[in-house]
Amino acid sequence: MRAIILAAGAGTRLNPLTNGCPKCLVPIGSKNLIDYQLHALRRAGVGDIVLVVGYEAAQIRAHCGRAVRYIENPDYHKTNSIYSLYLAAAELDDDTFLFNCDILFHPRILQRLLAHPNAVAVDSQVRRLAGEMNVALDSQGRVLAMSKKLDPSRSQAQSVQLVKFDREGALSVRREVERLIQEQHKDVFPPSAYGPLIRQGRLLAVEAGDLPWGEIDSLEDYQRTLREVLPRLEAG
């Protein structure tokens, strides 16, 4: 089992916290954000962890050491996360967790994902807003659409942006990522590469809304995570 964590971006919306500090090393309580993620992955039995780094990569290498492997995105300042995933595409050949470095989440979410071949964690309890990674589902919980452009009124959940693929699913995503980049679609997000799995009805939504999680994309997100997510996470 492998994990790919996308951690190349500069996280400018988190300034001044990310002024000279990579987003994954922003402190959350007593730990850095990446430490929570690595702990959750180890609890899930994942030993092979790949970080795609860019901004302040040397700091990440110094912090994580040999506990993970690294792929460098030298163009992090002018590319989206789909390009970081493209650089790691060769790693999509096994059962794989995939997520960004800015998600704080309860480790049990990964355990739930492990029960399914191809699955994305979702929160059906949160209010759906325009511009978030909204998810439309069929009656059996299979993903019909997932996009930041999806009308909230057409969605039943918001993506927690933690995804798990089996080997076949990972290879499908790999092929689609390579196609998107070859066709110069460098401004899209990784869920765009889940299209074939979604069209085949092979991506299942796994509920995680009862567990604490938060995406830390802005200072407002950061404060809300400290206030609402961290206390629940520390309480177990």
The CATH number that applies at residue 74 is 3.90.550.10
In the chain, % helix, strand, coil (3-state, to 5) comes to: 40, 25, 35
What would the mean pLDDT of 107-135 be, rounded to a whole number?
96
Alpha carbons within 13 angstroms on the beta-carbon side of residue 78 total 2
What would the mean pLDDT of 169-180 be, rounded to a whole number?
98
What is d(CA 127, CA 137) in angstroms, rounded to the nearest whole number? 16
Enter the pTM of the model.
Answer: 0.96
Q: Give, for 97, the enclosing helix (H) or strand (E).
A: strand 96-100
Range of the domain at 169: 2-234
- How many C-beta neighbours within 10 Å does residue 93 have? 12
Instruction: State how many domains the chain has.
Output: 1
Question: Confidence band (pLDDT; 50, 70, 90) for 80?
Answer: confident
Return the pLDDT at 211. Answer: 97
3-state secondary structure of 81: helix
Mean pLDDT of the chain: 96
